[in-house]
Amino acid sequence: MAEVYLNSRLAEHFTEEQLLDWAWTVAGDIHRQVQGRCTLRTVIGGRAYFLKRHLGVGWGEILKNFLVGKKAVLGAENEYRACLHLAQYAIPAPRVAAFAVERGSLARRRSLVLCEELAGFDSLETLTNAWAVEPPSPLAKRRLVVAVGRFVRQLHGIGLAHRDLYICHLLIDRRKWAAGEVELAVLDLHRARLQTPISPFWRKRDLAALLFSTLHLNLPRFSWLRFVRIYTGRPLREVFQKDGDLWRSVEGRAKALRKKTTRRRHGHGLQPPVTLVCGGEAFHIRRLFRWLPGRRLTAATGWRGREVVLKLFLGRGGQRHCAREGRGARRLQASGAPTPRLLAELAAPEVDGGALLFEYLPDSRPIASVGGADAAAEAALAVRALAQLHERGLTHGDAHLDNFIFSRGEVYIVDGDGVAPLRPATERAGLQALAAFLAEFPPYADGRTSDLLACYEQARGWLADPSRIARVQRWLAVARRRRIRRYLPKTERNCTEFVLRNDGRHRCLSKRNWAWAEQIAQSGGSLSQALQGALAAAKVIKDGNSASVFRLELAGEPVVVKRYRSKGPSHRLRRWFKPRPRIAWRNGQVLNLLQIPTAEPLALIERRRGPFTAECHLVMRDLGALDLAAETRTFGWRPDRLEQIANLLQQLAAAGLVHGDTKATNFLIHNDRVHLIDLDGLRVGHNWDADIRRFLDNFDGVLRLDAEAKFVEAGLLDVEG
């Protein structure tokens, strides 16, 4: 090893030569794990320690830092030397118990630092988060601000720039705080830089990070001025006369960090309860309705003693979208259509956007898409609300089910961004808008189209016309195909439903609400590496040359993983033109959108080799191993099974989709319901007869005759066929 340190207490447990091997095999509670670095808590000889392991950063990270004029953090050396430096000045910080770095490549060498636990300390982030429930006294706040100012001045005075100085990395002694005293400590020093004196650049970075991490607390302005006075040790007039540019740049960088963080935080990183600052007011988010990272947030919060819905527009175009939403909301209110009342419009310079506050609807939820009488009644109310909007010469350009909210026995229209004049204001335009709304329901709800058309006619005051149903059904089919085409690009990018992570070597698509992917992302790990590790202990269902299938559990949920491999350059080139895994991913999401039973795809994880895919994993929910072929061989046709299959094929036809390989083994039985799998060949088309013939070819004798009779009854086959 290039360098090693081991204190006398730990020397009783292992030697210097054993230190690295021990560090990479020891068990403990993992507190943080990111690519190339892991921090865990372990106990040795009855004493608690924190172990930080570094695997190296790679040449790419070193080159990236070199090109921007920075020195890359290569391992644990920074933390080791920073902790020793702080110990010389008796500043509370983790005490180093062991350190080691091995020889070898700068990009790949392993290193570690083991520090004693700071017992009895809490982070300032934990302390201040509790203020929302139990605010401290003004004296306690003042005492803390003064202590932080002195502590940071002391750090910078001894030539240490932390480079990650957020309040979560400052600790406070719980016992002394309860007694009215303040003792602080610092940790997480792996980026720390020793420099005497500290340059204005690094001083600004530390102070801006500290200010940024306190903005959500909505502290009064004089608290920040008190910190500046304590940190500098000079009167404020003198500070701002001589160093005004520095402190203005500190505040500017802190606000820029807040904008950047708000725009780029992923959905899994925004978990209520959380506090957002908007328009100079602090909003405590209690319930999140929608979070489109970097673009839009809708949540329940409190405002001036009442519960409201906050709709926040972020980033580029945020102000424009906010203004358009406000205009649409006012149009909705003026039309008399049921809609939540717009209470206030706020500028949000913190996020380069704007915000709207709406009346909160208790026990609200989107209208039911399928179900019994309740769903039919809610759909009828939504159609009447839409007809009322059309009667006033307006339409909703984004009339999906989430924009029709059921509350207190009434359906309300929301999302004024899509509200615009109905042009031309003709019967045809109104019916086409109605068909676009009906296309949001799954295909097997098409049976109530005529009833909903009657509700629309009644709300518009029209006389019933039997010819309208044929036109609406034709436009409904067109609108559904348009909806599918619009949805497909969303399945391969960041949006409300999906998360895309791409580091050049790995391209990972996953459902945003999938628990396993969320856990891995929160720990900073790689989905690809985590899945490879899980597959090592998985059960192999099928082991082929180009595709293998595994069954396992991830986060306690049973899943099936289909692994696609390229057999050679020519096979890789063919997969580039026709990527079967991506086709199956997209088709699975389309069937899930249309609520056609299938094995829901949860993730698509690709390992790239230049522009080509070397290996790909498609993760799906596990529906068990019982397929239709095995069931009919054993039991014949089970009650209602043919009815389910006929309904499933009717739904595909209504959506304008052709499966292409309807063999019996591609119909799985799960929870006594038929699910369609193997979606590589699913496509838009009209050759539904081929699907039916391929299905019937699975059977002979009585089984085939029974299936044919059911399909004739369902209108899928004519009598001659």
Report, as an integer, the average pLDDT of 521-534.
Answer: 78
Domain ranges of the chain: 3-116, 121-264, 268-359, 369-490, 497-621, 628-713
H helix count then E strand count, the chain: 23, 34
- Is residue 159 helix, strand or coil? coil
The per-residue pLDDT for 71 is 79
The answer to whether the predicted template modeling score (pTM) of the entire model surpasses 0.75 is no
The per-residue pLDDT for 296 is 83
**Which of 241-250, 348-357, 510-519 has the least mean pLDDT?**
348-357
C-alpha to C-alpha distance for 1 and 337, rounded to whole angstroms: 75
**Which of 229-243, 387-401, 509-523 has the least mean pLDDT?**
509-523
C-alpha to C-alpha distance for 603 and 478, rounded to whole angstroms: 30
Name which of 175, 49, 179 is nearest 120 in CA terms: 175
Amino acid at the residue 589: Q
Environment class of 400 (CB within 10 Å of its CB; exposed 0-12, middle 13-18, buried 19+):
middle
The alpha carbon of 98 is separated from its chain's Cα centroid by a whole number of angstroms, namely 38
Judged against a pLDDT cut of 60, whether residue 265 lies above it is answered with no
164 classed as catalytic: yes
**Which of 72-86, 165-179, 515-529, 684-698 has the least mean pLDDT?**
515-529
Same fold flag, 121-264 and 628-713: yes
C-alpha to C-alpha distance for 81 and 234, rounded to whole angstroms: 31
The per-residue pLDDT for 268 is 43
C-alpha to C-alpha distance for 721 and 699, rounded to whole angstroms: 16
Identify the band that residue 157 occupies on the pLDDT scale cut at 50, 70 and 90: very high
Report, as an integer, the average pLDDT of 510-535.
Answer: 81
Apex CA 87: angle with CA 81 and CA 90, to 5°? Answer: 150
Please provide the CATH number assigned to the domain covering 628-713. 1.10.510.10
The per-residue pLDDT for 308 is 93
> Model confidence over 643-660: pLDDT tens digits?
999 999 999 988 888 898
Q: Where is mean pLDDT largest: 156-170, 254-268, 527-541?
A: 156-170
Judged against a pLDDT cut of 70, whether residue 639 lies above it is answered with yes
- Is residue 714 helix, strand or coil? coil
Query: How far lies 523's CA from each of 7, 26, 293, 558, in Å?
Result: 30, 19, 19, 21
List beta partners, residue 500: 509
Judged against a pLDDT cut of 70, whether residue 228 lies above it is answered with yes
Residue of 21, 29, 164, 627 marked active site? 164
The per-residue pLDDT for 207 is 95
- Any long-range contacts for 38-43 (C-beta under 8 Å, 24+ apart)? 41/117
The per-residue pLDDT for 574 is 66
> Model confidence over 29-43: pLDDT tens digits?
877 777 678 888 999
CATH architecture of 3-116: 2-Layer Sandwich (3.30)
CATH architecture of 121-264: Orthogonal Bundle (1.10)
Judged against a pLDDT cut of 90, whether residue 610 lies above it is answered with no
Residues in the chain: 721
CATH architecture of 369-490: Orthogonal Bundle (1.10)
The per-residue pLDDT for 669 is 93
Q: What are phi and psi of 431, to 5 degrees?
A: -70, -35
Q: Which helix (H) or strand (E) holds 173?
A: strand 170-173
The DSSP call for residue 600 is -
Name which of 656, 674, 679, 134 is nearest 446 in CA terms: 656
Q: What is the dihedral of CA 389, 395, 398, 402, to 10 degrees?
A: 0
Going edge to edge, which strands form the sheet with 121-123?
121-123, 170-173, 184-186
What the block records as the tokens of 484 is 């599918």
C-alpha to C-alpha distance for 666 and 627, rounded to whole angstroms: 7
Q: How large a percentage of the chain has pLDDT more than 90?
A: 40
Please provide the CATH number assigned to the domain covering 268-359. 3.30.200
> Model confidence over 129-138: pLDDT tens digits?
888 678 888 8
Report, as an integer, the average pLDDT of 406-410.
Answer: 88
> Model confidence over 72-118: pLDDT tens digits?
788 889 899 999 999 999 999 999 999 998 887 777 788 899 999 99
